[in-house]
Amino acid sequence: EAGVAQSPRYKIIEKRQSVAFWCNPISGHATLYWYQQILGQGPKLLIQFQNNGVVDDSQLPKDRFSAERLKGVDSTLKIQPAKLEDSAVYLCASSRGQGQYNEQFFGPGTRLTVL
């Protein structure tokens, strides 16, 4: 079974530029999560999707971050414009569902550096 795929693996941009990350979850997984992991901290949930609907985006800075999951499969996370404090690893995870316990499987992450 293929794991969670993410691209690109690394991205370096100047502040105020825009950037997009892509995630392909494990086949059949209805729930998709985007976490932000700042250096020295644990991952923090940005947004959770159930199929193509948003379950929780309370921690997403909506003035600059946006995410979508069209057709309930792949997802993209966009930052526009980027700030220095957005430098972090962006992790995508997926699970079969959101109800009773379903393990979350993580992708390798995208490391973003904002200069």
Partner 1 sequence: AQTVTQSQPEMSVQEAETVTLSCTYDTSESDYYLFWYKQPPSRQMILVIRQEAYKQQNATENRFSVNFQKAAKSFSLKISDSQLGDAAMYFCAYRAFFTGANSKLTFGKGITLSVRP
Chain residues that interact with partner 1, rule: CB under 8 A: 3-4, 31, 33, 35, 40-45, 48, 50, 55-56, 91, 95, 98-99, 101-104, 106-109
- Residues 30 and 32: their CA atoms lie apart, in Å, by 7
Q: Which is nearer to partner 1, 54 or 115 (CB)?
A: 54
Q: Which is nearer to partner 1, 25 or 43 (CB)?
A: 43
Q: What is the CA radius of gyration of the chain?
A: 13
Which DSSP letter does residue 73 get? S
Closest CB 97 distance from partner 1, rounded Å: 8
Nearest CA to 23 among 8, 44, 36? 8
- The first and second tokens of residue 62, run together, are 């909506």
Closest CB 10 distance from partner 1, rounded Å: 10
